[in-house]
Homo-oligomer: A and B are copies of this chain.
């Protein structure tokens, strides 16, 4: 039986929010919803908790949708480790909880297991079947553990900024006397035809 509620909302609302934010009802975010729900239940509600997510795929969106932690407010950090795990911790005393997908438990839900381990081609495994497994399994495929954070707990505050003498934009002073872009480390070149771009160069150039 699917749960009626998840992360303090009706399940249908949860699924709607996932679709709106992420583009579709990704199994990883639904599973992530159960993980966020559990971790936040374990930690005292009054605690202002930061999050660490151990994969950049899907799971960060579950944290952003179902907790106050986002990438832009700096309360969530993302590790590119491809572990389906997340931690919430008290930012004052660094204690909290880690919740992760337990592969041993997941074996009882073949669609979920085959999806996560990529044992079956996408075409042969309809998302609806994976979602059915996830909504049936709920927390039974997860583990949780009390933890103390030893790294990555510092908020990444904005450092000194400086105005680049070449492009006149503000940039992180740590990059040197020119911004990365003007050092040739940028990621684009301008396409000259665009009118506003020419106007800009006429003004500052």
**Contact surface of A with B, Cβ cutoff 8 Å:** 21-23, 26, 28-29, 52, 55-62, 64, 68, 70-75, 78-85, 87, 95, 97-98, 100-104, 116-118, 143-153, 156, 158-159, 161, 163, 168-172, 175, 179-181, 186-191, 193-194, 196-197, 200, 203-204
Chain B residues with Cβ below 8 Å from A193 are 146
Residues of B with C-beta under 8 A to A158: 55, 57, 82
B57-A74 in contact (CB<8A): yes
Cβ-defined contact, A159 with B83, below 8 A: no
Q: Quick check: A60 and B68 within 8 Å, CB to CB? A: no
What number of copies of this chain does the assembly contain? Answer: 2
Least CB distance, A85 to chain B, in whole angstroms: 7
Q: Are B170 and A84 in contact (CB under 8 A)?
A: yes
Most buried by B among A52, A70, A151: A70
Asked if B61 and A187 sit within 8 Å, CB to CB, the answer is no
Cβ contact within 8 Å between B73 and A78: no
**Can you identify 29 A-B contacts, CB atoms within 8 angstroms?**
A21-B70, A22-B73, A23-B70, A23-B73, A23-B75, A26-B73, A29-B72, A56-B72, A57-B158, A58-B72, A60-B71, A61-B73, A80-B172, A81-B175, A81-B180, A82-B158, A84-B170, A87-B187, A101-B170, A102-B204, A104-B204, A116-B170, A143-B197, A143-B200, A145-B197, A146-B190, A146-B194, A149-B187, A150-B187
Q: Which of B152, B171, B188 contacts A87 (CB 8 A)?
A: B188
Which residue from chain B places its CB closest to the CB of A175 in the assembled complex? B81
| Residues of B with C-beta under 8 A to A169 | 83-85, 100-103
Q: Would you call A171 and B117 a contact (CB within 8 A)?
A: no
